[in-house]
A and B are shown apart, each in its own frame.
Chain A
Amino acid sequence: MSRRWVRRILEYGVTLFAAVSINFLLPRAMPGDPLALIAGDAVRQMGAERIAQLRSAYGLDRPLIEQYALYLGRLARGDLGTSYRYSGGRTVIQVLADRFTWTFFLVTVSLALAALAGSALGVWAALRRGRSGDLGLLTVIFTLKSIPPFWLAMILIPIFAVNLGWLPSGDSYSIPRPTGLAGVTDVLRHAVLPMGVLTLSYLPTSFAVMRSTMSSVLGADYIRTARAKGLRRGLVILRHAMRNALLPVVTSLSLDFGQLLGGVTLIETVFNYRGLGGMMFEAVKSRDYPLLQGGFLLFTLGVLGVNLLTDWLYPRLDPRLREQPA
């Protein structure tokens, strides 16, 4: 393994450590009983015996540094606590695993759609830079970026789900849940609206990056050379220009992944979707702190995972970035 990778992984480790420390310190830095802030509102319904037991399990009477060691130990064993109220005493890990799939489904498909559509539009606009088509599209994108996605969801539901009745208004599937092929179409139908909103909210990023990269690439010498050789315009754009412009799109999407993930929280909330975002909202409402912390940790892991993937993917997409053999 090269030094670059060692360094990278060290940096990711630091971020993860910071996220874990935020989780550890927040409940303990607040005024009030830390146990209530660690375990959530559930403490109110517990007997004195159970409270004492939890208190010693978390080591709340011991110095902070020992508490931290205990905390890390539990974490290493995959123990994120129990979600007391909202999920009927299931462990946080169980709830997260359950919820993760739905969010993963929404986010990956929407990101892919947004990257494709945004890039296509970006190329289209770059070829017409400064002309009316470009400016019109630019206006649309500016507006799109200014619209709160959760509000967009709130006006699409009455239109498409209530008035037109084309699509379901919420949830991830119908109840009772259909089986077989009907089950698959059911899930897809439920995903259309949330995915549409999410895609629209991701679109401006890839559009802006593709449009600006493309317009500078189009002015490059090698493009002129390719045209001068007599290659067709479409071929030059597709093979020579777009290949180079794709890389920044991937980079910007991965760099902004932490920001892009936010939108899913709100959209899942509006649609009562069964993903991590909807879970965060429920956890806030019922003061289910273990669940909230677990959600934050998983989101952080998601961001780091995507960054790591991009780092790995990069030299494969761009030969210039391949490491020189030492």
Chain B
Amino acid sequence: MKTRTLVLSLSASSQSRPAFRRRPGLPHLAGAGGLAILVSLSILAAWPSGLAPYDPTLTVGRPLQKPNPEFRLGTNDIGQDLLSELIWGTRISLGTGLIVATLAVVIGTAVGLAAGYTNNLFSGILMRLADLTLVLPFLPLVILLSAYLGPSQRNVILILTLVSWAGPARLIRAQVLSLVNERFVEAARAMGADRVRILIDHILPGVASIAGLQFVLVAASSILAEASLSFLGLGNPTAKSWGVMLYFARASGAFLGESWRWWVLPAGVMITLSVLSLVLIGFALEQRFEPGARGRWNLLRRGS
């Protein structure tokens, strides 16, 4: 398999064009903006019961109402409040993304460290597995797996983790491989530090920034992937995620009438905002940790 060594970045190659240096505030601005969006969304996710006017699982009014003072975004085909659905959806969509990102980065880091630091058959097999995961068509594979495993939130998380660990693993392995040949690691070895000590004191801090960046990027792509899966009817249909909202909107033909403006539009805006907040934070992190390096701007390269 072709290794993904060709990683290109949005960041400037700093010596050639110093334009970005004149605007040191840009990554900060992007990061702050992303963080602000993420914090607002997190408040919705943390306290939906206080902010949502109704219980989104209950029929609270006539079905298919237009927005009115009672139901700010109208009601869906079975009379549930769309605004409440939207607010509760934050928890599921954001939560799924963060859980998948945590699992994928923990697994990816462990594999990357093991494969970069030891050179045996086992680590070789792990990396082949990572290559394989990266080359198989992402969404068709996910669809196939979910069709067999059945629709549930747990399975969505499981499947997305299964296809998301490989990217971080590859990048972290590459970083470890370049770190072990660094002078300071050599020095530590010469002074008699054992392998575990070197791993903890010298290698781990060196991969932390990549792991952090990958966490943000995997979270973003997982939110998109969860929405896609739910939209195809492969998520948990009883969970009120934004993708599920769009699934039901499509099923009842909402986008062919005028109700797309309050049923379809807001859910997509929420997805876009969540992903965008993470993309912006990722951009800021990348500029912070690897200014001018051939960074790993994977999110821009990974469709969903």
Q: Are the C-beta atoms of A129 and B134 separated by less than 8 Å? A: no
Q: Are the C-beta atoms of A265 and B140 separated by less than 8 Å? A: yes
* Cα(A50)–Cα(B301), bound, Å: 48
* Cα(A171)–Cα(B227), bound, Å: 23
Q: Does A142 have its Cβ within 8 Å of any Cβ on chain B?
A: yes
Interface residue from B2, B15, B232, B304 paired with A269 (Cβ < 8 Å): B232
Q: Which segment, of B40-48, B174-182, B206-214, B270-278, faces chain A?
A: B270-278
Q: Are the C-beta atoms of B137 and A266 separated by less than 8 Å? A: no
Q: How many residues of A contact B (CB 8 A)?
A: 79
Q: Are the C-beta atoms of A204 and B132 separated by less than 8 Å? A: no
* Cα(A256)–Cα(B257), bound, Å: 36
Query: Main SS of chain B's interface residues?
Result: helix
When distances are taken between beta carbons in the complex, the residues of chain A under 8 Å from B9 are: 212
Q: Which segment, of B20-28, B73-81, B188-196, faces chain A?
A: B20-28
Q: Does B241 have its Cβ within 8 Å of any Cβ on chain A?
A: no
When C-beta atoms are compared, the residue in chain A nearest to B275 turns out to be: A146
Q: Are the C-beta atoms of A169 and B256 separated by less than 8 Å? A: yes
Q: Does A248 have its Cβ within 8 Å of any Cβ on chain B?
A: yes
Q: Does B264 have its Cβ within 8 Å of any Cβ on chain A?
A: yes
Q: Which segment, of A62-70, A90-98, A230-238, A300-308, faces chain B?
A: A300-308
When distances are taken between beta carbons in the complex, the residues of chain A under 8 Å from B67 are: none
**Chain A positions 194-227 with a Cβ under 8 Å from a chain B Cβ:** 201-202, 204-205, 207-209, 211-213, 215-216, 218-220
**Chain B positions 212-267 with a Cβ under 8 Å from a chain A Cβ:** 220, 224, 227-228, 231-234, 246, 249-250, 255-258, 260, 264-265, 267
Contacts A169-B256, A248-B6, A255-B2 known; A263 to B17 CB distance under 8 Å? no
When C-beta atoms are compared, the residue in chain B nearest to A216 turns out to be: B13
Q: Are the C-beta atoms of B23 and A219 separated by less than 8 Å? A: no
**Chain B positions 91-149 with a Cβ under 8 Å from a chain A Cβ:** 128, 132, 134-145, 147-149
Q: Are the C-beta atoms of B301 and A263 separated by less than 8 Å? A: no
Interface residue from A26, A129, A270, A300 paired with B148 (Cβ < 8 Å): A26
**Shortest Cβ distance from residue A126 to the other chain B in the assembled complex, whole angstroms:** 9
Q: Are the C-beta atoms of B303 and A262 separated by less than 8 Å? A: yes
When C-beta atoms are compared, the residue in chain A nearest to B234 turns out to be: A284
Interface residue from A27, A209, A269 paired with B8 (Cβ < 8 Å): A209
* Cα(A255)–Cα(B136), bound, Å: 11
Q: Are the C-beta atoms of A259 and B302 separated by less than 8 Å? A: yes
When distances are taken between beta carbons in the complex, the residues of chain A under 8 Å from B276 are: 142-143, 146
When C-beta atoms are compared, the residue in chain B nearest to A261 turns out to be: B137
* Cα(A121)–Cα(B22), bound, Å: 23
When distances are taken between beta carbons in the complex, the residues of chain B under 8 Å from A263 are: 139, 303-304
Contacts A143-B276, A293-B144 known; A155 to B233 CB distance under 8 Å? no
When C-beta atoms are compared, the residue in chain B nearest to A287 turns out to be: B147
Contacts A27-B148, A154-B264, A280-B140 known; A201 to B303 CB distance under 8 Å? yes
**Chain B positions 30-73 with a Cβ under 8 Å from a chain A Cβ:** none
Most interface-central of B13, B135, B234, B271 (chain A CB within 10 A): B135
When C-beta atoms are compared, the residue in chain A nearest to B9 turns out to be: A212
Q: Does B291 have its Cβ within 8 Å of any Cβ on chain A?
A: no
Contacts A216-B13, A281-B232, A300-B136 known; A131 to B19 CB distance under 8 Å? yes
**Shortest Cβ distance from residue A231 to the other chain B in the assembled complex, whole angstroms:** 19
Q: Are the C-beta atoms of A151 and B2 separated by less than 8 Å? A: no
**Shortest Cβ distance from residue A290 to the other chain B in the assembled complex, whole angstroms:** 12
When distances are taken between beta carbons in the complex, the residues of chain A under 8 Å from B265 are: 155
**Shortest Cβ distance from residue B294 to the other chain A in the assembled complex, whole angstroms:** 8
* Cα(A8)–Cα(B299), bound, Å: 27
- Residues 296-315 of chain A: 1 if any B CB is under 8 Å from the residue's CB, otherwise 0? 10011011100100000000
Interface residue from B6, B11, B139, B250 paired with A270 (Cβ < 8 Å): B250
* Cα(A292)–Cα(B148), bound, Å: 10
**Chain B positions 132-169 with a Cβ under 8 Å from a chain A Cβ:** 132, 134-145, 147-149
Interface residue from B1, B10, B128, B134 paired with A211 (Cβ < 8 Å): B10
Q: Does A89 have its Cβ within 8 Å of any Cβ on chain B?
A: no
When distances are taken between beta carbons in the complex, the residues of chain A under 8 Å from B19 are: 129-131
- Residues 247-278 of chain A: 1 if any B CB is under 8 Å from the residue's CB, otherwise 0? 01001100110111111011001100000000
Q: Does A84 have its Cβ within 8 Å of any Cβ on chain B?
A: no
Interface residue from B16, B17, B20, B140 paired with A262 (Cβ < 8 Å): B140
Q: Which segment, of A10-18, A51-59, A182-190, faces chain B?
A: A10-18
When C-beta atoms are compared, the residue in chain B nearest to A303 turns out to be: B137
When distances are taken between beta carbons in the complex, the residues of chain B under 8 Å from A14 are: 1, 128, 132
**Shortest Cβ distance from residue A64 to the other chain B in the assembled complex, whole angstroms:** 17
* Cα(A103)–Cα(B20), bound, Å: 41
Q: Are the C-beta atoms of A129 and B12 separated by less than 8 Å? A: yes
* Cα(A96)–Cα(B17), bound, Å: 50
Q: Are the C-beta atoms of A212 and B10 separated by less than 8 Å? A: yes
When C-beta atoms are compared, the residue in chain A nearest to B6 turns out to be: A251
When distances are taken between beta carbons in the complex, the residues of chain A under 8 Å from B134 are: 258
**Shortest Cβ distance from residue B66 to the other chain A in the assembled complex, whole angstroms:** 15
When distances are taken between beta carbons in the complex, the residues of chain B under 8 Å from A138 are: 10
When distances are taken between beta carbons in the complex, the residues of chain B under 8 Å from A220 are: 16
Q: Are the C-beta atoms of B256 and A296 separated by less than 8 Å? A: no
When distances are taken between beta carbons in the complex, the residues of chain B under 8 Å from A147 are: 268, 271-272, 275
23 A-B pairs with CB atoms under 8 Å apart are A15-B132, A26-B145, A37-B148, A130-B19, A135-B26, A142-B280, A142-B283, A146-B224, A147-B271, A150-B228, A151-B267, A154-B255, A155-B255, A157-B256, A158-B257, A204-B300, A209-B8, A212-B9, A212-B11, A219-B13, A258-B134, A284-B234, A296-B137
Beyond contacts A269-B232, A296-B141: 6 other A-B pairs, Cβ-Cβ < 8 A, are A130-B26, A145-B279, A158-B256, A158-B258, A216-B16, A300-B140
The 6 A-B pairs with the shortest beta carbon distances in the complex, nearest first, are: A219-B16, A130-B19, A262-B139, A151-B268, A146-B275, A146-B276
